Chain A
């Protein structure tokens, strides 16, 4: 017999009780119940179409600071009994964790709206209609579409032995579209992700990709070397992701980061490392980027059980860089407490402040530059300097005398956002963007002296 989902709080409490009975001092349980559908397409045809229902429960326990984390997706009482017994058995076999962090007890956390009926109740036919409509558009404009429509309707529930019970449902509707011309090498990409299906406009998403594809036909080789570039908001977000991932407090304190001050053996918090126009933060309650009202700490130091014990921390907005000055680095809950700071949950998004300038104005004021629509396959070469390499993709253009004059073949670049954020000469409006590992709100950037190191023949 399976537990009724409506009684899930009882079920979580049961798991915690079983862990306690088996000897756990502390325990936290996380249940994620999800429905996901994915419709993948290529060449204006569906290639995969699937739906999945699943529930997984994760249980973290500690006994005398000995810890273990176990997980299963069988919600039967027998399975839950086994889960608790296994967790405790493993924990007893572990050495004590010197970096222990106990479960949080959060009386309250902010409410954010992350679940929408329009997405949760989206029918199979409606998904099909949306995809058919963009196929029709593509055929009318003689391009091929490739991509993915993903729908998710999930609920996250957390309970722990400190009395926490937090839960929040969330939905997402994500459409990614790459448009390619049959011949002549045109390619454009666009993506949109919304909690509320009604805000996702498939035609608009596809049109933008198609427009870029048609603009980028017959690309010619540009000239590698250091030069001015203009990054689209999506390219900006992709470029900043590695920098954000390197903003770990503990790593900085130990000398393992660009944000380490090797002279003082401390961090570079308080130093002005970037241009005046650079302000970077994570925002949980942005109207266009709502996240759950609670979360967990993130960063090196402590254990994964400690991070799970921190699940339930109320979300807060975090300012990392303000007007070029490093204000804060993120840190694990253990590292925060060890250093007498409040542990904080990390919203997984990036917001970089923009201006009122539209991209057309920036292009108009640019004598010569390369416009980069997207980056691809960024790799961290040297974490000391956040040196990256990667490639442009899906729309690279030459700007001359204030206008786009021709499409270019893609470039490989070798540069660092640390350098680039000191070479910004124009910032545009910030808009919602998606990168491979991050979602955010980022502006168009004009960057001088950007190292486009070689040409890629990839279309």
Chain B
């Protein structure tokens, strides 16, 4: 395979590329979706191909194809150069790249049991058993359970002399109960946390024990009252914070958005360059860390798709905006001399674009309250579990989110469930209203599988994490028209 990659790079260099890289990618995906005792979807896909990216006169060109021969690779190298030359002719300004040295390395995720090696029947049996447990609740109309496994194997070579051999493996299981009655239909989800892990990550989740709870909570939602429009305290569990970390921090701190590169589709960001180091993003106890090296992190790997080693860095410290996610081509435009290794291509043929790293809220320090203490200390609030609806403006300022299962807190006690809880907030006042974050023992990672960005759209996976936390005086929206 290295010969094929080299053939592409040699042609690109001969044709004038200042820099070029070549990626071979092989992507395996298995998806099993069930409804009650039926397999609705069972698919197994393998796709591979070669992608060559050339950089000339400050512009990129990329060509990719599925044929894996040295001749085909050379043609891709040649075409990538032609495309880059045309881009350079159109542009008035040269795109600069941060400096990079060569790396020769192999990276593998901490996986014990390759999920693709596990017999299919073992997977379908577990899914059908989950559904069976859910349907033991006679008030549930339907049960759905799904597994999703993905393995990406990338070989990267560049004209700098790098050769990187990396594999990522993701596994997830989730399920939901659907109930109908009282003139409404509802669902309650078990939003299992996908991770870079093997089959042991599926076996390690108490899915059969959780299924009856999920069923019961779905049925409770049928008769739950809707909240009134009011201002109230929220206690958010990590199953929910992943949504708001993702939308209000992770995307807001992507440097390509800040530069305007995503203005046509994914949007831009309010967190502009001049705010670094001074802008108050959250309260003083609020700290956020980016980390592409975290074990089992969905976005973790050794090197990004620019060939830059991945790392860990603070994004928000003591509530102050400190840093962004960046790539080789976006960093210089903001005056940085180093990439943050956030280039990612979701398929063998995709162009590497800036994608969010794993972004997590740090746990509170020793002596922080437990969740139990936090609830006991809240007189009028809502405990929010799981993700539901979400919407945020294109600069990541005004947002509205919903929880999957929400319960009223009165005088320090968790009471009845509520239906259709959505709240509205805006950056930065929202995170400035965080007044308590639980400690490390209650910190949980929570993965996101399907973050879409780019044109054509690319899908990525990443992890957010936090401890339970409380926000004061947040606006609830009443949805009944």
Q: Which size bracket describes the interface of B in this complex?
A: 35 or more
Distance between A308 CB and nearest chain B CB, rounded to angstroms: 10
> Which residues of the other chain, B, contact A416 by a CB distance below 8 angstroms?
481
A382 close to B393 (CB less than 8 A): no
- Interchain CB contact under 8 A, A125 and B261: no
Which stretch (B263-271, B318-326, B406-414) binds chain A?
Answer: B263-271
**CB–CB B260/A51 < 8 A:** no
Contact B481 A254 (CB under 8 A): no
Of B37, B121, B265, chain A has the most CB atoms within 10 Å of the CB of B265
Instruction: Name the one of B38, B90, B92, B393 contacting A303, with C-beta atoms under 8 angstroms.
Output: B38
B contact residues around A69 at 8 Å (CB):
41-44
Question: B456 → chain A, closest Cβ, in Å?
Answer: 6
Q: Is the CB of A378 within 8 A of B45?
A: no
**Distance in Å: Cβ of A232 to nearest Cβ of chain B:** 17
A46 CB contacts on chain B under 8 angstroms: 59-60, 87, 90-91
Assess whether B394 is in contact with A376, with CB atoms less than 8 Å apart.
yes
A67 at the interface (CB under 8 A from B): yes
Interface residue from B185, B394, B422 paired with A391 (Cβ < 8 Å): B394
Contacts of A302 in B (CB 8 A): 40
| B394 x A55 contact (CB < 8 A) | no
Establish whether residues A414 and B263, one from each chain, have CB atoms under 8 Å apart when the complex forms. Answer: no
Is A90 a contact of B44 with CB atoms below 8 Å? yes
User: In the complex, what distance in Å separates the CA atom of A384 from the CA atom of B259?
Assistant: 40
How far, in angstroms, from A71 to B394 measured CA to CA in the complex?
36
A54–B65 CB distance below 8 A: yes
Q: Does B67 contact A (CB under 8 A)?
A: yes
Q: Mark A73-96, 1 if CB is under 8 A from B, else 0.
A: 110000000000010001001110
* Contact of B223 with A by CB under 8 A: no
Residue in B closest to A56 when the chains form the complex, CB atoms: B47
Pick the residue among A50, A146, A260, A457 that contacts B63 (CB under 8 A).
A50
Identify B178's interface contact among A98, A256, A305, CB under 8 A.
A256
Contact between A73 and B260 (Cβ–Cβ < 8 Å)?
no
| Given contact pairs A52-B349, A135-B90, A148-B455, A459 touches B395 in the complex (Cβ within 8 A) | yes
Q: Which of A335-364 contact B (CB under 8 A)?
A: none
Tell me if A222 counts as interface (CB < 8 A to partner B).
Answer: no
User: Is B66 part of the binding interface, using a Cβ–Cβ cutoff of 8 Å?
Assistant: yes
Is B83 part of the contact surface with A, judged by Cβ < 8 Å? yes
Interface status of B373 (Cβ within 8 A of chain A): no
**Which of B40, B84, B185, B456 lies in contact with A256, CB distance below 8 A?**
B185
A97 touches B38 (CB 8 A): yes
Name which of B164-172, B204-212, B397-405 contacts chain A.
B397-405
- Chain A interface residues toward B at CB < 8 A: 2, 36, 38-40, 42-56, 67-74, 86, 90, 93-95, 97-99, 124-125, 127-128, 131-132, 135, 144, 146-148, 150, 176-178, 180, 189, 254-257, 260, 262, 302-305, 376-385, 387, 389-391, 393, 410, 412, 414-416, 418-419, 453-459
Those 6 A-B pairs whose CB atoms lie nearest each other, nearest first:
A458-B395, A456-B398, A50-B62, A458-B393, A379-B391, A71-B45
